[in-house]
């Protein structure tokens, strides 16, 4: 992990509904640039699918996606890359890691970066790589194990790992209705165990926010399964709050 003096802490967001679980991190030089890499599927890539259109979305083109909002809030001391790709599964992320995320981490280290952070999040059906209705305990365990494998790759490459729990969009018959029990159980495993298992440095329980649970709520949801600009802004606010609460470095 990242220093012998880390101490587990729990933060409850008093202005929203979520829960962040995190480790405090050692101070770093305020002179260094910080790098943040967003990985996942279409919920990370954005809507329309920016990543497929731009070969990685590294410049954050116009579109609706939460990484763009995060970078705007973090300011000039942060450099961001969005490598999310529509429909990509966790096993595919693990398989692709050495060709996609690891080279970016290596570049950041050569640039003498301050913090180097990988953020993972995505659509439940893709992240759990299952046909709806074919879940169960074995699927839940496999999904969590795949996440831990990914986290190990991130740590071995020399970066911090932040995971966002999967939005539970099936409470009103939405896209993940048949996977709802599996999604909820995997989220419980992540919130309860991921920091304790030394896999996640930060867990942001986005799925606990009721605004993320009703796909019929057109204020936050668009195109049947993705989010509106206001919906993605909720994602970004949680991520920025988590980063601020886990570093001694002022973000602005």
Q: How many domains would you assign to the chain? A: 1
What local confidence, expressed as pLDDT, does residue 179 receive? Answer: 73
Q: For the chain, 252 residues long, give each residue's pLDDT as a single digit of tens.
A: 333 333 333 333 333 334 444 433 333 344 678 999 999 888 888 755 444 333 333 334 445 788 888 988 888 889 999 988 887 888 889 999 999 999 999 999 998 878 999 999 876 666 665 445 567 888 888 889 999 999 999 999 999 999 999 887 665 555 556 677 788 888 999 999 999 999 999 899 998 998 888 777 788 877 666 788 888 899 999 999 888 776 644 443
d(CA 102, CA 10): 29
Is residue 133 assigned to a domain?
yes
74 CB-near residues (< 8 Å, 6+ apart): 34, 36, 80, 240, 243, 251, 252
pLDDT for 218 equals 81
- Beta carbons of 208 and 17 less than 8 angstroms apart: yes
Residue among 116, 115, 142 at smallest CA distance from 127: 142
Enclosing domain of residue 23: 8-245
- For residue 123, being part of any structural domain is answered with yes
Residue 173 in domain? yes
CATH (domain of 20): 3.40.50.1110
Q: What is the pLDDT of residue 28?
A: 38
Q: Give the whole-angstrom CA distance, residue 122 versus residue 140.
A: 16
Its pTM stands at 0.79
Residue 118 lies in a domain: yes
Q: Give the pLDDT of residue 152.
A: 96
SS3 content of the chain, % helix, strand, coil (to 5): 40, 15, 45
Give the number of other CB atoms < 10 A from CB of residue 106. 13
Judge residue 176's burial from the number of C-beta atoms within 10 Å of its C-beta, 0-12 exposed, 13-18 middle, 19 or more buried.
Answer: buried
Query: Phi and psi (nearest 5°) for 93?
Result: -60, -40
Report yes or no on 26 lying in a domain.
yes
Sign of CA dihedral 232, 60, 51, 102: negative
Asked if the structure places residue 147 within a domain, the reply is yes
Does the residue 129 lie in any domain? yes
3, part of any domain: no
How many angstroms separate the CA atoms of 228 and 200, rounded?
28
């Amino acid at each position: 992990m990242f220093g012998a003096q880390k101490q587990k802490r729990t933060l409850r967001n008093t202005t929203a509904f979520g829960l962040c679980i995190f480790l405090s991190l050692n101070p770093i030089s305020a002179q260094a640039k910080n790098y943040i890499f967003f990985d996942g599927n279409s919920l990370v890539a954005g809507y329309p699918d920016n990543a497929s259109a731009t070969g990685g979305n590294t410049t954050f083109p116009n579109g609706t996606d939460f990484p763009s909002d995060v970078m705007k809030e973090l300011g000039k001391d942060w450099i961001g890359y969005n490598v999310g790709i529509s429909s990509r599964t966790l096993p595919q992320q693990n398989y692709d890691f050495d060709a996609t995320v690891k080279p970016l981490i290596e570049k950041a280290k050569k640039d003498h970066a301050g913090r180097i952070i990988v953020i993972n999040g995505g659509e439940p059906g893709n992240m759990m790589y299952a046909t709806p209705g074919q879940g169960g305990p074995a699927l839940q365990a496999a999904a969590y194990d795949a996440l831990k494998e990914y986290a190990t790759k991130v740590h071995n490459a020399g970066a911090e790992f932040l995971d966002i729990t999967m939005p539970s969009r099936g409470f009103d018959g939405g896209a993940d209705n048949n996977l709802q029990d599996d999604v909820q159980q995997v989220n419980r495993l992540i919130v309860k165990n991921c920091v304790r298992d030394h896999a996640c440095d930060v867990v942001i329980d986005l799925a606990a926010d009721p605004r993320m649970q009703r796909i019929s709520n057109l204020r936050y949801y668009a195109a049947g399964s993705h989010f509106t600009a206001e919906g993605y802004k909720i994602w970004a606010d949680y991520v920025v709050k988590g980063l601020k609460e886990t570093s001694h470095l002022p973000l602005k």
